[in-house]
Structure 1
């Protein structure tokens, strides 16, 4: 238990450091390079965010496979690193070839900036595999350092570059160079592969590739579900109400990301069959408890919550901030259940996430014209999806328990 708490503390501090550094660089960039250049930079960062599902898919695959079969860690490491190297070269190469298209679609007017997307994606993809190996082996100290290196170098290098030349190219160059710090560290800590398991053969890579693809699409479904409301809101709400909803989502995102370290710590245990149920229950209690505290805080101290949501300019949304916090709690619990699904590879549950996405998009597009209305639709769909995934997860666990 002490080791688990120690690991949780290290990962929590590391992820907080990473997120604070990333946020600080983003906010500083907005002020230094100006609105026009920042618009291009923001578009590039959104594209990188979408591409990160490949990284997260590889991380989940590596962590699940190592946790489920620790006696074969050497063989699995070899498979994961081979697949990730190929995936990095493929993703990076395709994006380099498609740079002119990226430049046009994002209206960048800067082909060098578009080319950097491929360079950044290659490093980011490789980092996912390295993080998954460390996560699966429960090497929390090394994983914590990797997370810190995913944020701090970006702030230091990027800040120096934009102060030298305040352009979107320099800002994104700082991000790209920052992605290579954790990759280099990953190569160092994984340079001595564990001597266990058989030698990796070419034929054994196909299952790893298939699982990585499945995991990536499941995480993309979750990403789409938790972001579609803002996109729909831009079309069904007027500009003023859309801004109010976006301000409320700041609280949602804060509550959603606060317990994210729990998923990182719990996923290896959820992937090991004997401890799956207990790990899921403990994790849900921790995530739900922290979310409930945030909801209560937003309800009792709306002025403090409003300060985080943008201040007095968004006073109209003050009374709804507790509901936005509740939405963040639902999203964090859904994230935990999605990773539980990845741990036991539930096809039906993955499909339901896409159903939830379609439901939010369809209902919000046809039935919503106000901020409270959009919030009710999104909360309703995600609450139903949360209940369905919870039932399916525990039914699956009960079915598997006799074989343990």
Structure 2
């Protein structure tokens, strides 16, 4: 996962340096929308991992349902995204329609990879899962960077991302090549399939809210700031995403424990302590070593945002904590998590639309994130004290 995240970060860094602030703002906006459009990937992965780990006797029914639903959802979402490409091109002020079409096509492999990774994670098949993660990050920077070297345009960037997105699907398909099961005929298996689908919908809704909260601010920036300032904000978000992705492995490791009644509270506390420590260290590093951080986000073209990189690091730390709390809610199939995060998205879009500077937008997003974190921490405390099922689906 570390290599995957470094690869993803490196692609953003290469794109920022080769494209410059104005064009990179558009690419950053497309990558943010890709995260939002492919949120079913995260829901499928979370559901598959939790259900397979918790109910090994139902593995056949769960796997068949997940893999079938994955392909159907991927093709449907991809078709919708391609159909919406004119609106995306207008929203992000792209140079043409083709980059938006390529963005829609990327949704298919990204979604399929999520279902495959969830099966591998639930079965604790760490080596194949590691290969899938490696094939997400490394090809993106190699193929995406290579395309940008050939032609530094928005279209070239998305061609590289699309080509790289199919490699993890090929690896996942090969790893799961013998995982075809007989038709499900028992009443129990049919109920398992229905419940898996329900949980996938619920998980996807909660994760959609989180992904929107953590990604749509760059879309807001693209609309309320001029091209140069929006590019500076997008450059600062490279630091945000680096801090968010750095400790992401902690969520993967702790998720099974958070799903277990006797271990949940301790797992959440360990995660909060660890992520808070990482966040504080990253903020201090971005403040004290802003010159070095500037090199990694694109160089001198972004020097206007150098003094605020610590603020973007703080955003990343807040989002990392928020991500852990969202998955803690998913582990208990809690419904209030998605409501609180959705309210945060609405608040961020409404308040962000009033911003007129890079700092103003970043501070607005930070305040919204802190509020949502506080609400979710209070929710965890309430669950721990009451020990009831009243907040469950």
Distance in 1, Cα, partners of 2:100 & 2:244: 30
Residue 327 of structure 2 aligns with which residue? 339
Match of 1:355 among 322, 343, 355: 343
Residue 83 of structure 1 aligns with which residue? 69
Match of 1:68 among 48, 54, 74: 54
Residue 7 of structure 1 aligns with which residue? none
Distance in 2, Cα, partners of 1:362 & 1:300: 33
Structure 1 gaps of 5+ residues are: 1-14
Residue 110 of structure 2 aligns with which residue? 124
Distance in 1, Cα, partners of 2:335 & 2:34: 27
Tell me, yes or no, if the aligned pair for 1:19 and 1:151 is still in contact at 8 Å.
yes
Residue 134 of structure 2 aligns with which residue? 148
Larger radius of gyration: 1
- How far off is 1:80 after superposition? 1.0
- How far off is 1:262 after superposition? 1.3
Q: Which secondary structure state, in structure 2, belongs to the residue aligned with residue 50 of structure 1?
A: helix
Residue 386 of structure 2 aligns with which residue? 399
Distance in 1, Cα, partners of 2:229 & 2:16: 23
Cα deviations by residue, 1:54-90 (Å, 9 ceiling, x for unpaired): 2111111111222332332232112211211221232
Number of residues of Structure 1 aligned to a counterpart in Structure 2: 386
Structure 2 gaps of 5+ residues are: none
Q: Does 1:133 align with 2:119?
A: yes
Q: Does 1:191 align with 2:177?
A: yes
Residue 377 of structure 2 aligns with which residue? 390
Q: Which secondary structure state, in structure 1, belongs to the residue aligned with residue 262 of structure 2?
A: helix
Distance in 2, Cα, partners of 1:147 & 1:267: 17
Tell me, yes or no, if the aligned pair for 1:67 and 1:271 is still in contact at 8 Å.
no
* Closer, same or farther: CA 203–98 of 1 in aligned 2, 3 Å: farther
- How far off is 1:249 after superposition? 3.2
Q: Bigger shift: 356-365 or 281-290?
A: 356-365
Tell me, yes or no, if the aligned pair for 1:63 and 1:133 is still in contact at 8 Å.
yes
- How far off is 1:386 after superposition? 0.8
- The TM-score, its normalising length taken from structure 2, stands at 0.81
* Closer, same or farther: CA 315–155 of 1 in aligned 2, 3 Å: closer
RMSD: 3.8
Tell me, yes or no, if the aligned pair for 2:209 and 2:341 is still in contact at 8 Å.
yes
Residue 262 of structure 2 aligns with which residue? 274
* Closer, same or farther: CA 126–389 of 1 in aligned 2, 3 Å: same
Q: Bigger shift: 391-400 or 168-177?
A: 168-177
Alignment of 1:294-313 (within 5 A): 294-308=282-296
- The TM-score, its normalising length taken from structure 1, stands at 0.79
Q: Does 1:49 align with 2:35?
A: yes
Q: Bigger shift: 58-67 or 25-34?
A: 25-34
Distance in 1, Cα, partners of 2:29 & 2:308: 29
